[in-house]
Chain A
Amino acid sequence: MRGHHRLSPLRIIGRYALACLLAGPFSAVVQLANADAGSWPTPPATSAPPPQISGPLQGGTADHTKFDELKGPFETGSQVTQACLSCHTETGQHFMKNIHWTWSYQDPNTGQQLGKRYLINNFCTNSRGNEGMCAQCHAGYGWKDESFDFTDETKIDCLVCHETTGTYYKTPNSEGSPACSVMFEGKPPIDLAAAAQSVDLPQRANCGACHFNGGGGDNVKHGDLSTALKQPPRSLDVHMGVDGLNFACTACHVTNKHVWAGSRYQIVSKDTEGTGLPGQRTDVATCESCHGLAPHPVDSLAGFKLNDHVQSIACQTCHIPEFARGGVATVIDWDWRTAGRTRDGEGYHEEGYIQGNGGHRYTYKSIKGDFVYDENIIPEYDWFDGQMVYTTIDTTFDPNAESIEINGFSGSREDERSRIWPFKRMHTWQPYDKGNGTLVYTHLWGEDDAAYWGNYDMGAAIEKGMADFGLNYSGEYGFIETLSWWPITHMVTPKEQALACGDCHTPKDSRLAEVKGVYLPGRDRNRWLDIIGTLIVAGTLGGILIHAGIRFFSPKGSHH
């Protein structure tokens, strides 16, 4: 039994009744009391940043600098891993089950084969066949093609997540075209022993090494995950703020045997269980798992109403009014049609966007095409039940379709599991198989003549990308508009900056102007009723004026 259950209608009414009795007289007192305590539960700023909080356990029981096993010297990262596994005997078997290792996930509802290993997105499109480059973000060593041994625990990369010197880095697992490999030359050697002795629970910068740079650059992909979160102010993220709670990622993405809570493939759109009993709920990263099912302090009628809204509105909708904040822009539009231009036979890039923190961003790259950036973005909103349905390499569609959803999602007002969620909308023109109506694996990275990055022949790159995996390709490619949807869940603002009621409940420019299936007070109205009602009221006033006028001008009637 969980500690909390869904509130029955009777209990809601009962709580209202109680509020009526209590809220009026006591709210003023409560507010006065709160004024002194700061803005609880948001902690006050402190001068010295505390260590990042990964969970309830603090301190640890071992000093890794004292272990002989970690003295080194180490030639390779894998040797460090073997040292780790000599004490952490079961970790390898645990780790190899998680998605950071497998890059594979089968949706239990749709049966779809998902995971980075297989999927096509509308950024750099596909990692399949490009692992030499893309698997830099695989939590392992040496995945460059299909021959990688997913059962070899010595190939796990412990350091990328656990080292805290900040000097550790990864390079592509294969050389790639000379035009590209030059980018990775001249890096300083890594002191693996120092890195090994520095291990700790993962810091934001560890996770961020990959997750802040998804899609090929800082905040390109998610919009709500950028390097601004390495040392964010509380105003950017109330949980991660260094002048606030200073949470590490794993404070919410709780870990059990190296499997993390909080999945983009299986999203909990409405948590109906809340906090659970002490020691429970290590299976989710939902807001409710800490904040409960009635998260707003009940010191006003508005507090009750807000707690009711939890049924219909995801926390993120009000508490993340904008994403791509903190000075780092995200890509919202990508056009592969313009990729492949060269100058004197060489690829080039152009900077055309200066973001909030002053950094310059590429708006054109020969290897990728044109990008459009944006910052401080108001999300798109829609009902969402947590279920994404992907357009995978196996999906066929009408080749003349206007656009394709990379990850369409379902949800509606009628569905009790659905809530209104905020999304980043990513729009891309990307290559597809025009003849068969499928997406394509593009061979981007490689030392051969077909790799697009270096040779700039899209036809050849698709030909090889498909052939390498025995996939049917018509031989005719085109470009199609694709959309992908990214539920926004990071960059939670302090509550003072959350949306106000009137941001949605308003006839003009409502945040939820496009959300269907619900009558939203303030936003919606019956036009005819308003016209008729206004006419009746105005007519009455007019009638009164006429009546009064006649009385006034009738000599005998003026005072009666």
Chain B
Amino acid sequence: MALHQVKIFSGFERFWHWSQMLLILILLITGFGLHGFHSLVSFETAVTWHTGAALALLLLWAFSIFWLFTTRTWRHFIPTITGMWGVLRYYSYGIFKGERHPYRKAYWRKHNPLQALAYLMLKIVLFPAIWISGLAYLFYFAWRNIPNAPAWLEGVALVHTAAAFAILTFVFVHVYMLTTGHSFREHVMPMITGFDEVDLTPEEEAYLRKDEPEQIR
């Protein structure tokens, strides 16, 4: 096993990440504006941008889900508790002692266990909660005549707002995490260049060197 600079984020993955970041930023700003927390933009503009960004994000997600399942990369997000304790101990204790992050990226495990679990929860809990409630919200006028529609709408709004608060919390923690371990820059660069330090088995290295030399530096 040895550390190598390996391309772990493909072009699509990087495009996905950064466009998703931009869209979520727009959605958070306009969404909390619609909720009445600020009035930086008019309600009409906020609705237009919020809806537009949401529909674009849904389209992006459709592509990314297809990509995850056709490239087998979904396996990076299978939850595991192996190594979880080490990561938790590091963030709550070791980090203050100047210890080294215990996790090494593997070719088929580019996220540490805590990261993988967090992203999985984001993908299967928070994101579905926000887009399902969001579509229900958007198409309210298509179901306004069902019994108790206003009460349902209130429930939909509740779920949507709660998910928004949770996603905002995620964003703060996510960005803060970039400052831990390596430098902020070192954390961000892989999502720009695609390359990061990965612990490769000799077989993986041999395979990459021979068959996919552009994936390894």
The residues of A with any CB-CB pair to B shorter than 8 Å are 9-10, 12-13, 16, 20, 24, 300-302, 305, 308-309, 311-312, 413, 416, 500-502, 505-507, 517-519, 521-526, 529-530, 532-534, 536-537, 540-541, 544, 547-548, 550-551, 554-560
Contacts and interface: CB of A to CB of B under 8 A. Distances in A.
Contact of B43 (A309, A522, A541, A559): A522
Nearest to B159: A529
B162 to A, nearest CB: 6
Given A12-B139, A540-B169, A557-B97, 12 more contacts: A9-B142, A24-B52, A305-B47, A519-B157, A522-B34, A525-B161, A533-B161, A537-B165, A551-B180, A555-B98, A557-B95, A559-B183
B12 interface: no
Interface string B17-59: 0000000000000000011100100111001100110010000
B189 interface: no
Interface in B134-191: 137-145, 150-151, 153-154, 157-158, 161-162, 164-166, 168-169, 172-173, 176, 179-181, 183
Contact of B36 (A10, A506, A548): A506
B143 A526 contact: no
Max chain B Cβ within 10 angstroms of own Cβ: one of A300, A413, A547, A556: A547
A249 to B, nearest CB: 33
Q: Give the interface size bracket for B toward A.
A: 35 or more
Contacts of A302: 44, 47-48
B72 interface: no
A535 to B, nearest CB: 10
B25 to A, nearest CB: 15
Contacts of A551: 95-96, 180
B204 interface: no
A317 to B, nearest CB: 16
Contact of A522 (B35, B55, B139, B181): B35
Contacts of A305: 47
Contacts of B34: 505, 521-522
B179 A301 contact: no
Contacts of A517: 150
A558 B144 CA distance: 56
Given A302-B48, A501-B43, A506-B43, A548 B179 contact: yes
A522 B34 CA distance: 5
Contact of A529 (B44, B144, B162): B162
21 contacts: A9-B139, A13-B142, A301-B47, A302-B44, A500-B43, A507-B36, A517-B150, A518-B153, A519-B153, A522-B36, A522-B43, A525-B35, A526-B161, A537-B172, A544-B176, A548-B176, A550-B96, A554-B96, A554-B97, A554-B98, A560-B101
A29 B97 CA distance: 60
A198 to B, nearest CB: 49
A311 B144 contact: yes
Interface of B: 34-36, 39, 42-44, 47-48, 51-52, 55, 95-101, 137-145, 150-151, 153-154, 157-158, 161-162, 164-166, 168-169, 172-173, 176, 179-181, 183
Contacts of B154: 519, 524, 526
A537 B44 CA distance: 26
Contacts of B181: 560
A507 B35 CA distance: 8
Contacts of A505: 34, 43
Contacts of A12: 139, 141-142
A502 B161 CA distance: 19
A381 to B, nearest CB: 16
Contacts of B138: 16
Given A416-B145, A502-B39, A519-B157, A560 B95 contact: yes
A383 B139 CA distance: 21
Contacts of A518: 150, 153
Contacts of A416: 145
Contacts of B43: 500-502, 505-506, 522
A502 B44 contact: yes
B206 to A, nearest CB: 33
A534 B165 CA distance: 8
B63 to A, nearest CB: 15
A536 B139 contact: no
Contacts of B140: 308
B34 to A, nearest CB: 6
Contacts of B52: 24, 301
A493 to B, nearest CB: 17
Max chain B Cβ within 10 angstroms of own Cβ: one of A300, A523, A537: A537
A551 B101 CA distance: 14
B56 to A, nearest CB: 9
A407 B176 CA distance: 62
A529 B161 CA distance: 8
Given A312-B144, A550-B96, A536 B44 contact: no
A537 B168 contact: yes
Max chain B Cβ within 10 angstroms of own Cβ: one of A309, A518, A558: A518
A298 to B, nearest CB: 13
Given A302-B44, A505-B43, A550-B96, A20 B55 contact: yes
A319 to B, nearest CB: 15
A557 B151 CA distance: 51
A500 B181 CA distance: 49
A123 B182 CA distance: 80
Contacts of B166: 536
Contacts of B42: 500-502
Contact of B169 (A501, A506, A526, A536): A536
